[in-house]
Amino acid sequence: MVTPAVKHTIVKKRTATFKRHQSNRFMRVGESWRKPKGIDNCMRRRFKGSSPMPKIGYGSAKKTRNLLPNGFRKFTVSNVRELSLLLMHNRTYAAEIAHNVSSKKRVAIIERAAQLNVKVINAGARLRSQE
C-alpha cells in the first residue's frame, strides 16, 4: 500500500457561495456565477451590503491546492503506457482511470499499477467478478 510522502492538513478558508446578481429576483436568471459588467451595477462597484464576488483571496494554500483527502494529487490515466509517468512520483500522485476506458483495459491498468506500486483511486469502478 502506497502512502503519500508528506501528509498536509488541508485547511479550507471560508467558502462563500457566489451567486449571480439578481438571481433571487428573476426565474430566468440562474444562480451560477457571472461577473457583473453593467456600468451602474452596484455589485460590480462593490457597494456596502452587496453579495461577495470571487477574488484571489478566497483561494486555498498552494501546498494543499488540488490535494485529495488521502494526501495524493490526481493524475488521469487512459492506458497502461501513461502509468509509467507516475513511476518516480508514486508518493505524490495517484492514478485515476479515465471514464471512457473499457473494463478490459481497466483490469490491465490496475495490474500494472500494482507492479509499479502506484495507487489507483477508482480501482473498483466498472469491474465485475467472473461469473
For residue 79, the model assigns a pLDDT of 95
Residue 126's closest CA among 96, 108, 98, 106? 106
pLDDT at residue 130 greater than cutoff 80: no
For residues 45-72, average pLDDT = 92
For residue 3, the model assigns a pLDDT of 87
Whole-prediction pTM value?
0.78
Tens digits of residue pLDDT in 75-122: 999 999 999 999 999 999 999 999 999 999 999 999 999 999 999 999
Contact 110, 82 (CB under 8 A): no
For residue 129, the model assigns a pLDDT of 66
For residue 12, the model assigns a pLDDT of 83
> Chain centroid to CA 15: how far?
16
Alpha-carbon distance of 61 to 55, in angstroms, equals 14
Vertex 110 angle, CA 104 and 111, to 5°: 95
For residues 35-57, average pLDDT = 95
